[in-house]
């Protein structure tokens, strides 16, 4: 059994302290505040069937809700929202020739996700009075040779910070 080298232990502790200090300093400079998403964000997952060799679009109403009455938001606050496609069904990559997912606010695209760019961010202003705000999700697709039955989709959304 080899003895513990005190110099190596000290060096490891010093490097960890430097790394933590650097991360804290970066967060201070960037001003990012993360809100507990379980409280303020609700995203519904859904599944659907898509015929082989077809194109089309489907809209799911109220698929994502930002509940600004939770998390200490004030009317008029400007927040950044990050939306990501969470792929838990490999058929999404195998069966779609093209897939565009748009997060819509009253018909206006706030975020656009694709298979090659599965994330996007957008700015949102907390409404007056402070309340929940719902978004629809639209899929624009083209499928390949195989029918896709009960393909499941899930988005993840996070309120990343104020600004």
- Is the pTM for the entire model greater than 0.75? no
The confidence band for 117, taking pLDDT boundaries of 50, 70 and 90, is very high
Residues 6+ apart with CB under 8 A from 123: 78, 79, 80, 81
* pLDDT for residue 36: 43
Question: Comparing 79 with 163, which gets the higher pLDDT?
Answer: 79
Mean pLDDT is highest, among 26-30, 87-91, 130-134, 158-162, for 130-134
pLDDT at 38 over 50: no
Delineate the domains of the chain, giving CATH numbers in brackets: 37-162 (2.60.120)
Burial of 79 (0-12, 13-18, 19+ CB in 10 A): buried
Residue 157 is encoded by which pair of tokens? 């959304």
SS3 142: strand
Percent of the chain residues topping a pLDDT of 70: 81
Question: Comparing 90 with 36, which gets the higher pLDDT?
Answer: 90
The confidence band for 136, taking pLDDT boundaries of 50, 70 and 90, is very high
pLDDT at 110 over 90: yes
């Amino acid at each position: 059994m080899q003895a513990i080298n005190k110099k190596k232990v000290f060096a490891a502790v010093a490097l960890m302290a430097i790394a933590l200090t650097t991360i804290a300093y970066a967060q201070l400079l960037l001003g990012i505040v993360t809100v507990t998403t379980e409280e303020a964000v609700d995203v519904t997952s859904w599944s659907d069937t898509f015929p082989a060799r077809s194109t089309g679009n489907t809209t799911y109403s109220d698929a994502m809700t930002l509940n600004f009455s939770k998390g200490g938001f004030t009317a008029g606050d400007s927040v950044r929202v990050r939306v990501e496609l969470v792929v838990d069904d490999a058929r999404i990559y195998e069966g779609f020739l093209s897939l565009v997912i748009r997060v819509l606010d009253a018909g206006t695209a706030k975020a656009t996700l694709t298979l090659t760019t599965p994330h996007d961010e957008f700015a949102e202003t907390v409404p007056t009075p402070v309340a929940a705000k719902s978004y629809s999700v639209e899929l624009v697709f083209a499928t390949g040779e195989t029918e896709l039955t009960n393909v499941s989709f899930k988005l993840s959304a996070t309120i990343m910070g104020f600004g």
